[in-house]
Structure 1
Amino acid sequence: MKKADIGVIGLGVMGHNLALNFERHGYRVALYNRTAEKTRSLLASAKPDQQLIGTYSLEEFCAHLERPRRILLMVQAGKPVDDMISALQPLLEPGDILIDGGNSYFLDTERRHETLKDTGILYVGMGISGGEEGALWGPSLMPGGPYQAWENLAPMLRDIAAKAEDGEPCVDYIGPRGAGHYVKMVHNGIEYADMQLIAETYHLLKNALGLSAYQLADIFEKWNQSELQSYLIQITAEVLRKRDDETGHPLVDMILDEAQQKGTGKWTSQNALDVGAAVPTISAAVDMRILSAFKHERVQASRILSGPTKAYQGDPANLINLTQQALYASKMIAYAQGMGLLRQASLEYGYDLKLDRLAAIWRAGCIIRARLLGDITAAYQSDPGLVNLLLAPAFRDTLASHHQALREVIKIGIDLGIPMMGMSTALAYYDAYRSERLPANLIQAQRDYFGAHTYRRIDRDGIFHTEWT
């Protein structure tokens, strides 16, 4: 039997669909899953002419792979990845390529790279975005690791990746060591922020105007034909339009208001503190998911803590228009925070990230794909040294015309007692970044007062300390 071009270990939804994606593009694929039933199930559902090879031991799996072996691990992040690497290592040879396609923490990827470096096994940490549909029909791929591995994998990854409107594959070499998983982590952080901003918009319009889920679906569907066009806006309209078969109500109204998380948003916020980048809107999105989990406490607090009781008295059409502008403005600011973190991390970790290329490979296939990414790509192509996306002419001009709407919408939310943590932090970031002078001088004076931490002056060079009492 002809040997396989690539092997996939882990046949959950993502691994299953990626295997079919490779096969559809002409590659022979070896399959292995810890529980053999998933392998048998995939083979049973396959067509007779599909180039899929089922294997039931790691020895058999590796024996069916063309050399150098290319192995895609689609197992749960954390210890299962380490366990699988340990099991595979004795069966592999120098030049073989191990690809971790899960949501592994980038520092784990860095560690695994160091562990395998002297063995000659090429370890690739590859971010994959697009969910199960993207895995099957074309995801956005973010591979990092040895460039030698990228040169080997590039043709097949370009084949299976999503294609942007200009036909360009949504995959590129990201950088060394853990760069691929780092970029996927920040991608997910931006995703958290984007989802939170959309949720706040939904919450405001639902409560201020008393709109039904179906009316809101019409609004989001219309917005998806505007500058807000994106995958998340599209699916928001579809989610809002879905009817619950059991009750006949909109399904979204029957879902408990507790948003779960797998940790990538939290990692993004934590790492931003480590490298000294400000991502308040991403952090706000994480905080709101945490707050949502306190459902029992919130129910009790709603009966004890007071807040505004007045209703919105303005023009509904005007509020919808303002909210559309506010959502776009806050979305731009959230992306600017994420790109700023990537820029800072690239310097910190020596990743040499190309921000224009990152934006380009997010234009299709991935969860945060949006029309806006075309503007982001163009901004960094025009000015590769751009220190903050907000300074790019297109973003500067749009925010000049939209920031007032963002202010108005936040005020309305405050007046109605509707939490707008994502939008509020986006505006605060914008106002802080455009401020020539911030009150940090007072903070530094306080630090010098109680801890002799010193300060600098605006009128001459040097480091100073004052005996304040």
Structure 2
Amino acid sequence: MGEYAIGMVGLGVMGANLARNFVSKGFSVAGYDLAADKREAFDRHAGEGDLKSFADVQEFLGALEQPRRIILLVPSSVVDEAIASLKPMLNKGDLLIDLGNSFFGDTERRAVSLEDAGYYFIGSGVSGGEKGALRGPSIMPGGHREAYALIAPAFEAIAAKVDGDPCVTYIGPRGAGHYVKMVHNGIEYGIMQLIAEAYDLLKRGVDASADELAAAFRTWNQAELNSYLVQITGEIFARRDPDTGTPLVDIILDEAQQKGTGKWTSQNALDLGVPTHTINAAVEGRIISGLKAERIEAAKVFGGPKGGYSGDRGEFFEQVRDALYVSMLISYAQGIALMQAASKDYDYDLDIADIARIWRGGCIIRAGLLEDVRKVYTAQPDLPNLLLASPFKEAVEARQADWRAVIQAAVGMGVPVPGMAASLAYFDAYRSARLPANLTQAQRDFFGSHTYRRLDRDGVFHTEWEA
């Protein structure tokens, strides 16, 4: 019988920090990695608790308690390879846990394959970054409930806590955990884009200094915008480059990269027929930021508005604050609506209130408003859209004028706000009892005989438009 409670395959920073988190809570951890330098770095933390690295995979597996609980923290591109290398040496009933950023469709496939072969498998999202892994992340595990029971005490111990409540819960079967993590990241993309637009509006519109921006975001974080991303934005604006003394943010290349989870969210939303305007705009915002060389040349060719914001400076700060808050609500609302659709289509039986609960701490999109989201969906589990419920309906209505004013000002100044504009377009479309899709359907019938329905009678109709 082995002596280590948990096995960790992949001893990079995330894997090592999670292992250190486990041992700090009394769980022994055996680590395995092909890279000697990672094993050596891992073993330097042996004084923190019962952990040890192994260079030989059979020796590693032999050191684990039965049934084995093995966590994979490897790049998503090599998860199948890692599973294939371990599988011949596993016993029936052993548990494999993929804690990487895997695509939920791949997790579905792996879950079916491994469970058919007699092994347990969990695909789990984890959010919080490197520091969260060490101090307490939000964890989103999916798979068989029996599989989750094998790891639940350990996950509950290492997860972030909000009022003593661990930010982890059983999400649902098969790929449900990685699906929810994917949507978490889609919402995250949306919020980050919106914050960047608020920054751009204030920087270009009223020439706000980094110190002013730091103060504004720190103040905003004390009220309804209270969230991890707003908090760290204030800290970013306050940081100076040690070499030049200038605000560090001003000398960072304006090119945002991505790992794909936001794109997956947009693609899946299209597959399920769920509108995610804000998230889509955020993905496209990152894509166009990558066209740096083209943008430099285009700036030489095209002119545009020259002036900044001409109104009251202090009032504009407050209007941008309101526009940011309402647009952030839209990003959450779109992500939740997408999870509700996936819950039905994929038989995940997602509990939105419970997901909001575990997102209150540890994860990147943690925010004060998530407690209200939890309460809303506890009371109304089938609520079709977050915006329909108090207090969010009142929040949108109270800030709608400022929201529109900010976007109008952005257009006048030539400052791109794709996320905010997409959020408003989503809201205006959602609140419209009638949209111009009747004309679109008439066009489809004209050129393709696709038929249409009428407002005044039942049935399906076709017109010979050119007769």
Give TM-score scaled by structure 2 length. 0.99
Structure 1 contact 162–169 (Cα < 8 Å) conserved: yes
In 1, distance between residues paired with 2:241 and 2:40? 34
Any idea what SS the aligned residue of 2:455 has?
coil
135-144 or 373-382: bigger deviation: 373-382
Give the conservation status (yes or no) of the 8 Å contact 2:96–2:120.
yes
**Cα deviations across residues 245-304 of structure 1 (Å, max 9, x unaligned)?**
111100000100000000000000000000110101000000010000000000000111
**Unpaired segments ≥5 residues, structure 1:** none
Q: Which amino acid aligns with 2:120?
A: L
Distance apart, 1:215 and its partner CA: 1.3
Q: Which residue of 1 aligns with 2:65?
A: 66
Q: Once superposed, which parts of structure 1, at least 4 consecutive aligned residues long, lie more than 6 Å away?
A: none
Match of 1:111 in 2: 109
Query: How far does the alpha carbon of each residue in 1:293-344 deviate from its partner, in whole angstroms, 9 at most, with x for none?
Result: 0000000001111211123211111001111111100000111000000001
C-alpha separation in 1, matches of 2:385 and 2:41: 49
Give CA-to-partner distance per residue, 1:344-366, whole Å, 9 cap, x none.
11111110100011111000000
Tell me the percent identity.
55
Between 303-312 and 292-301, the greater mean CA deviation after superposition: 303-312
- 1:408 matched to 2:410? The reply is no
- Deviation at residue 37 of structure 1 after TM alignment: 2.2
1:303 counterpart SS class: helix
Equivalent position of 2:295 in the other structure: 298
Three-state SS of the structure 1 residue aligned to 2:140 is strand
**1:438-467 per-position Cα deviation (integer Å, ceiling 9, x unaligned):** 000000000000000000011111000000
Tell me, yes or no, if structure 1 residue 178 matches structure 2 residue 185: no
Of 146, 160, 166, the residue aligned with 2:158 is: 160
Alignment match of 2:248 (pick from 248, 251, 254): 251
Cα distance in 1, alignment partners of residues 111 and 82 from structure 2: 14
AA aligned to 2:59 is E
Give the aligned residue type for 1:385: D
Work out which of the residue numbers 456, 460, 467 in structure 2 matches 1:459: 456
Comparing 385-394 with 446-455, which one deviates more in the overlay? 385-394
1-structure distance, mates of 2:215, 2:129: 25
- Please tell me the root mean square deviation across aligned C-alpha atoms, in Å: 1.0
Aligned residues of 1:197 and 1:422 also touching (Cα < 8 A): yes
Equivalence for 1:97: 95
Question: 5 Å matches for 1:309-348?
Answer: 309-348=306-345
Matches within 5 A, 1:339-358: 339-358=336-355
Hey, what does 1:6 align to over in structure 2?
Answer: 6
3-state DSSP of counterpart to 2:348:
coil
Match of 1:279 in 2: 276
Aligned partners of 1:53 and 1:244: how far apart in 2? 39
Matched residue SS, 2:44? helix
Number of corresponding residues: 466
Shift of 1:45: 3.9
AA of the residue aligned to 2:375: A
Matched AA of 2:83: I
- Matched residue type, 1:237: G
In structure 2, distance between residues paired with 1:381 and 1:241: 39
Q: Could you tell me which amino acid in structure 1 is paired with residue 6 of structure 2?
A: I
Counterpart code for 2:273? G
SS at match of 2:76: coil
Paired with 1:370 and 1:307, the residues of 2 have a C-alpha distance of 37
CA–CA separation in structure 1 for the residues paired with 2:152 and 2:202: 46
Q: Which residue of 2 aligns with 1:207?
A: 204
